[in-house]
Structure 1
Amino acid sequence: MRLIMFDMDGTLIDSGFAITNTINYVRVNLGFEKLEKSYILEKVNDPSINSAEFFYGTKEFTPQQTKLFEEYYNKHCLSDLVLYDGISKLINDLKNDFVLAVATNANSQYAHKMLNHVGIGHHFKTILGYDSVKNPKPHPEMVHKILDIHNISNFNAQLIGDSHKDIMAATKAGVDSVLVNWGFSNHEKGAIETIEELEKRIFDKFK
């Protein structure tokens, strides 16, 4: 049994508009001004930043922030949602040879809803979100949990994501990883640019 884990936002689906609009909705309700989309997406993926502090000025997310976020996101998370080019074909190419899973720092219910909306949800045996674990990525808990669910060794797994949070989670769990550059980050080095390169990296790892 071989396992491929995908991050969701910025890796499988371009949900940049939904994320940006939601964060700005919360900010405006808290009396802050809106931020640029590219700036928000760059900071959302930065492992060195405390998101609650950065976006809303509090050490941790407050119940009010969470409520505002989920209220808006729930209504709007499916609008402007698209699969990245080539993802649908990639999933089809992999689905017979690999167990496929999703490890996302989004809420797992939204993740199911979003992946079903773009037509690929049924291909993933397991979809874990931040609410499925105590510690989201870059902590390795989510990766360990998926390995345990499917009883697959870390050597027979690979994680694909667009953020250093993904890579850090995989590395701490002893899992091979691939950093992709079509998502929300703009990596200077170490990231691949195309689905073709990703297929090659998967093939090289498991051949």
Structure 2
Amino acid sequence: MYVCNPSTPPQFLTRLTGVIFDCDGVLVDSRDANRMYYNLIREGLGMLPITPEEEAYVHMHSVTECLARIIPAQRLAEADVVRDNLNYEDIFPYIYLEDGLVEFLELLAGRGIRMAVHTNRTNTTERLLRHFEIDRFFAPVVNAGSLKRPKPDPEGVHYILNAWGLPTETVAYIGDSALDERSAAAAGVTFWSYKNPALAAAMFVPDFDTLRSCLAGIAAALPGRTAEEPDLS
């Protein structure tokens, strides 16, 4: 796996026309907020907080899958009532944009590179993007509520590619989980792992500042590429 490095930018960046972003763990750091949200639901049912294993699960999966995992089947209707009485926007102060994200999005926009979101969130995605004033960068925004089959199924990636009319070989998917990895692989698009070196990816991205520098320097660096520099085709 190639580690994103501005001194040896991959040739693939010269062909990049679209970037698909996961939301939680990529656009935003929402682990504390997710834990709080599901603990509030459990608290409303008189249950104990979620375990570390459950916390890892709810960070990646759709709300339907998460509730089925952490709430007994016979109490799911009660959980829906509790959930309906929660104001998710009260949790926004516990969600943080990833460092360097806005600058990276602005660079992509300036180069005419399309951007989309593919997330296992449901109806909170658009509100979250508007809250951070980054909704203008993304079209389409695909969430679990708009799909028959959420990640890791490739349905969402195929929807985005069809909306864009772009070939798979010019699009990259940035994610931080095995669900993202599998979704990208099933759709045939290049996968970049964000802050998770354990995933099978064409490129590991440690942060958006590094990725922005890599993309910004591609035009100047490519004429001097050596045979050893990565292609990531």
Question: Is the aligned partner of 1:106 residue 2:121?
Answer: yes
- Tell me, in whole angstroms, the C-alpha distance in 2 between the residues paired with 1:187 and 1:66: 36
In structure 2, relative to structure 1, the CA distance for the partners of 1:123 and 1:76 (3 Å cut) is same
Question: Using the alignment, how far apart are the partners of 2:90 and 2:124 within structure 1?
Answer: 11
Residue number in structure 1 paired with 2:5: none
Gapped regions of structure 2 (runs ≥ 5): 1-15, 219-229
Asked if structure 1 preserves the Cα contact closer than 8 Å seen for 2:19 and 2:173, the reply is yes
CA 1:76–1:39: 2 relative to 1, 3 Å: farther
Aligned amino acid, residue 32 of structure 1: M
CA drift at 1:158? 0.9
Structure number with larger C-alpha Rg: 2
Alignment of 1:8-27 (within 5 A): 8-27=23-42
> Counterparts in 2 of 1:70-149, with a 5 A limit?
70-72=84-86, 74-97=88-111, 98-107=113-122, 109-149=123-163
Match of 1:193 in 2: 206
TM-score, L = length of structure 2: 0.73
Q: Against the structure 1 CA distance between its residues 139 and 64, is the aligned structure 2 distance closer, same or farther, given a 3 Å change threshold?
A: farther
Could you tell me how far 1:100 is from its partner in structure 2? Answer: 0.5
Cα drift, residue 112 of structure 1: 1.2
CA RMSD of aligned residues (A): 3.0
The answer on 1:57 being equivalent to 2:72 is: yes
1:18/1:76 contact within 8 Å kept: no
1:30 is displaced (CA, Å) by 2.7
Query: 1:21-59 CA distances to partner (integer Å, 9 max, x unpaired)?
Result: 1111111223320136x6544222568xx6344311339
The CA deviation at 1:197 is: 4.5
Residue segments in structure 1 that go unaligned for 5+ positions in a row: none
1:67–1:148 Cα change, 3 Å = farther
Q: Render the CA deviation track for 1:93-135: whole Å, top value 9, x for unaligned.
A: 111331000001112x421111111121111121111111111
Mapped to 2, the partners of 1:86 and 1:80 lie a distance apart of 18
Q: Is the 8 A contact 1:22 1:73 kept in 2?
A: no
Aligned-partner Cα distance in 2 for 1:187–1:156? 23
Normalised TM-score (structure 1): 0.81
* 3-state SS of paired residue (1:119): coil
Structure 1 residues 78 and 129: CA distance shift in structure 2, 3 A: same
Quick one: distance in 2 between partners of 1:46 and 1:103? 12
Deviations 1:67-113 (A, max 9, x none): 43354253424222221111111111111331000001112x42111
Once the 2 structures are TM-superposed, how far is the Cα of residue 187 of structure 1 from its aligned partner? 5.3
1:16 CA displacement: 2.0
Instruction: Report % sequence identity.
Output: 24
Q: Which one has more relative contact order, counting CA pairs under 8 Å at least 6 apart? A: 2
Contact 1:81 1:118 in 2 (8 A): no
Letter of the aligned partner of 2:147 in structure 1? Answer: V
